[in-house]
Amino acid sequence: MKKIYFDNAATTPIDKDVVTVMTEHMLNNFGNPSSSHEFGRKAKVIVETARKYIASVFNCSPSEVIFTAGGSEADNLILFNAVKNLGVEHIISSPIEHHAVLHTIEALRRDFGIEVTNLSIDRYGEIDDKELRQHLQNSRKKTLVSLMQVNNELGNILDVDKVCRICHETGALFHSDTVQGIGHVPLDLKTTPIDFITASAHKFHGPKGVGFAIVRKGLSIEPMLYGGEQEMGSRAGTENTHSIVGLHKALSLAIDHFTQDKAYILEIKKYFIEQLTSRIPGISFNGLSADLDRSAFHILSVRFPVEKPMLLFNLDLKRIAASGGSACQSGSSKGSHVLSAILNEEASRQTSVRFSFSKFNTKDEVDQAIHEISEILA
């Protein structure tokens, strides 16, 4: 039986072209970018070329791009700096953010006594723009708004243009965890001047352990790691050059093939929805994930009309990989905090599964998965 991977929101298979350039770099370009000799200078050029490329993609300055070990580190770097160095005393967020944001905000509340406001979420996982504006207008403290661009469990796409406009009209800073959106939802920081965004390469067929933050010029960032002046003094430590090369290649592939990849993956998602609804009575979808216009084209959160706590386990036995929510909380017994925030008690008892797709999936895999799901439920 063929293995089927429908958990691309957790991590994506690394593209073979990315592996090729990373391998070549590890073998031939091993110099330390901080060294002044030829080997070091060559490595430095490779890192700075990647930085300039990222800046060109998001229409910002290369000096605003900081390489990190991934999205979680980037979120921590930004949120801690907002409080410790930028004078933020009030953070407005939502209960369905990634734990890299929620847990960091809770630590800031505990250690620095900041005020925290969680916006109300409707049954689709959407915020109320009017409520956000009201909180910002009522705040007497320097405020940062932290809302993710694409929800990693529901696939809901935030109107970052509107949120950015509201924040800047009221003098607030805006941080958006864009980890799930990079490579899936276009973003131009010239037209949508978000103050802080984050990315992780393994969400768009790059290597794990590398990502970046983009921090708007003029916003001071102090390092969380000390020991060197790398990343313009914002992050100490020898640059992970082969992974930065991989990130560069993966992002360029995602950007260059965006239109065709989106059309292909969207067709896979649409076909999956059609087959589910026709084969399994009473099926429903969480959030806006089945709305092809308002959700990311690679994420679908499905709620089955039964209590089937072993569904994921049985799918795994059938060699089908999916998720009950975020991979980062798979070791938790508490279940999905996102689904808990939007579902009523009856719906929460039903079994929800997140299926997420990539350019490597096929309709044949959908057919096989639907067949196995039908048998398991029967």
CB 154 within 8 A of CB 122: no
260 burial via Cβ count (<10 Å: 0-12, 13-18, 19+): exposed
Segments in the chain forming alpha helices (H): 16-28, 38-58, 71-84, 99-112, 129-138, 160-169, 241-256, 258-279, 311-317, 337-342, 345-349, 363-377
Task: Count the residues in the chain.
Answer: 378
Task: Please compute Rg for the chain using Cα positions.
Answer: 21
Q: Are 132 and 162 in contact (CB under 8 A)?
A: no
Output the CA torsion sign for 102, 106, 108, 113: positive
Annotated catalytic residue: which of 60, 164, 167, 328?
A: 328
Nearest to 269 by CA among 304, 303, 293, 252: 293
* Helices then strands, each counted (H, E), the chain: 12, 12
Farthest CA pair distance, the chain: 67
Q: Distance of CA 295 to CAs 56, 155, 174, 255, Å?
A: 26, 5, 21, 19
Residue 184: which of 212, 207, 153, 150 has the closest Cα?
A: 150
Q: Are 31 and 42 in contact (CB under 8 A)?
A: yes
- Is 328 considered catalytic here? yes
| Residues labelled as active-site residues | 328
